[in-house]
Amino acid sequence: MTFVCPGCRHDLKDEAPRAYSCMACQREFPFIAGIPDFRLFDPPYVSRREETARVNALLDRYREFDWEGLTRFYVRRILTDLAPDQKDAHLEHRLTLRYRAREREKLLQAQLQDLGYSLPAGCRILDLGCGSGEATVAFLSRTPHVTGVDISLEELVLARKLCEEEGYYSGSFVAACAESLPLPTQSFDFVYSMDVVEHVRDQRAFLLEARKVLKDGGGFLFNSPNRYSLVAAEPHVNLWGVGFLPRNLADPYCRLRGKGPYSGKRLLSYRELTAIVKEVFGSSHLFERRPNPKSQSLAGKLYHALAPFSVKAYTLIAAEHLVFTQVPGENSKKAAGRQQPAAGRMKDSKAHSAES
Ligand SMILES: [Zn+2]
């Protein structure tokens, strides 16, 4: 994998395994736990010092445990910001994600085919905001050229462990900020970014970076929880109505309701989302998806009963929007004829929590 300086995009001097250094701006990018650290700023939820302690604790037990054991150790002993009952649910979520990611990857292929887009053979995939790497590993079953980027080194250590255990080359994980990627221009065929856009500091910069690293005709798929959802609670704090408050009141409201701080999150409404995608990618191609046909929720049943009249209206209040967009180019022509006018994806809150 070739890298460029995330600060000035100049070439880097490869001094692996110690560090990369920029020949233009003189920035140094060290390797931490074997993972190149290209972050220009710290993760929002943990200090660098605390993160180092957590990463070291993970590395101390890295050889002793398998992936599941290491994940249990991480959640039970290292994560301090979860209540004991939250830890059980969180652990369950993490341990099953490994299997759900595979199912989601298969579903994704079908969804892309519906749009007339298919991943080219041997394609290069960027899992942007890969977290603990479950989707990255699912993609690795399809192509060896997958790069996982995340701002959290703790998650990346877990991702590397999973990758090793699944028998894949585990050197493709990179710590970086989604707003400043250390990746060469036009180097990927497909960028996949789940549960990320609402967490970045600068959502426009995030989209611009995704576009920058995509080749002509490359596809970008990401999801965005709906700020104005009427069918699901705010997914991070499981609280209704947060998005309807002015943004500066969301944090005090969540604290008041005993849901802790609400920082580092910015949910987009349907209109905000389409505007920003259109600005960066030229046009907005939200793809129309019906809710899960198996959905037993009242919202899901109603939707099916009223479709197609309900599609447009539902889009505004859906739990989440799923966006697929392409950089103009050869491969995008096929899909262009099938693009729907803007419409959203709807998922009931149960489906959301199960898939995210
Ligand atoms: Zn530089």
pLDDT in tens, 47-81: 999 999 999 999 999 999 999 999 999 999 998 87
Q: Output the CA 6–ligand 1 centroid distance in Å.
A: 7
**Is the bond preceding 17 in cis, omega lying within 30 degrees of 0?**
yes
Q: Output the CA 28–ligand 1 centroid distance in Å.
A: 9
- Cβ within 8 Å of residue 157, ≥6 positions away: 33, 35, 55, 58, 59, 62
Q: Output the CA 158–ligand 1 centroid distance in Å.
A: 29
Q: 355 pLDDT exceeds 50?
A: no
pLDDT of 339: 41
Q: Output the CA 91–ligand 1 centroid distance in Å.
A: 39
Q: What is the signed CA dihedral for 145, 149, 155, 158, rounded to 10 degrees?
A: 10
- Using alpha carbons, select from 155, 132, 133 the residue that is nearest to residue 146: 133
Q: Output the CA 157–ligand 1 centroid distance in Å.
A: 26
Q: What is the signed CA dihedral for 201, 130, 69, 79, rounded to 10 degrees?
A: 0
Q: Which residue has the higher pLDDT, 271 or 347?
A: 271
pLDDT of 115: 75
pLDDT of 21: 93
Q: Output the CA 15–ligand 1 centroid distance in Å.
A: 15
Ion ligand 1: residue ranges with CB closer than 5 A: 5, 7-8, 10, 22, 24-25
- Rounded percentage of the chain residues whose pLDDT exceeds 90: 47
pTM listed for this prediction: 0.86
Q: 162 pLDDT exceeds 90?
A: yes
Q: Output the CA 24–ligand 1 centroid distance in Å.
A: 5
Q: Report pLDDT digits (tens) over 187-238.
A: 999 999 999 999 999 999 999 999 999 999 899 999 888 888 887 888 888 8
Q: Report pLDDT digits (tens) over 11-40.
A: 998 876 788 999 999 999 999 988 999 999
Q: Which residue has the higher pLDDT, 273 or 335?
A: 273
